[in-house]
Amino acid sequence: MSKAPLRPTRPSAAKVNAVAEAAKFAAPAVASRLSIRVSRETLRSIRKKAVLSDKKIKRFVLDALIAQGVDVAAQDLTDTDDTGDT
């Protein structure tokens, strides 16, 4: 049995891919979001301290990061939605 010959890529399809790849590099830089994984014990400790300080978890963590000298985005400073966290 002979294999089917390889079909060449159409120039129009290759051009679209090249444009998409170039757009990734030309796009303006967007600030990235930070995601941190913590152990269950650490999360419990954070929750307890946040409740004791009468703050939501997100606000408590952001305030702690700011106190340590971490730059926090203005969007996060004004955001009050904690998606159900206490």
Q: Is residue 54 part of a domain?
A: yes
Q: Which of 50, 81, 51, 52 is nearest to 64 (CA)?
A: 50
Q: Is residue 70 part of a domain?
A: yes
Q: How confident is the model at residue 29 (pLDDT cuts 50, 70, 90)?
A: low
pLDDT at 75 over 80: no
Q: How confident is the model at residue 13 (pLDDT cuts 50, 70, 90)?
A: low
User: Chain-centre distance of CA 32, in angstroms?
Assistant: 5
Q: How confident is the model at residue 86 (pLDDT cuts 50, 70, 90)?
A: very low
Taking only the tens place, the pLDDT of each residue in 36-51 is 888 999 999 999 999 9
Q: Is residue 32 part of a domain?
A: no
Residue 85 pLDDT: 47
Determine the Cα–Cα distance for residues 45 and 51; give it in Å rounded to an integer.
Answer: 10
pTM, rounded to two decimals: 0.51
Spatial contact of 41 and 70, defined as CB atoms under 8 Å apart: no
Tell me how many domains the chain contains. Answer: 1
Q: Which of 69, 61, 70 is nearest to 79 (CA)?
A: 61
Q: Is residue 10 part of a domain?
A: no
Q: What is the mean pLDDT of the chain?
A: 77
Q: Which residues span the domain enclosing 57?
A: 37-78
Q: Is residue 49 part of a domain?
A: yes
Q: Is residue 53 part of a domain?
A: yes
Q: Is residue 30 part of a domain?
A: no
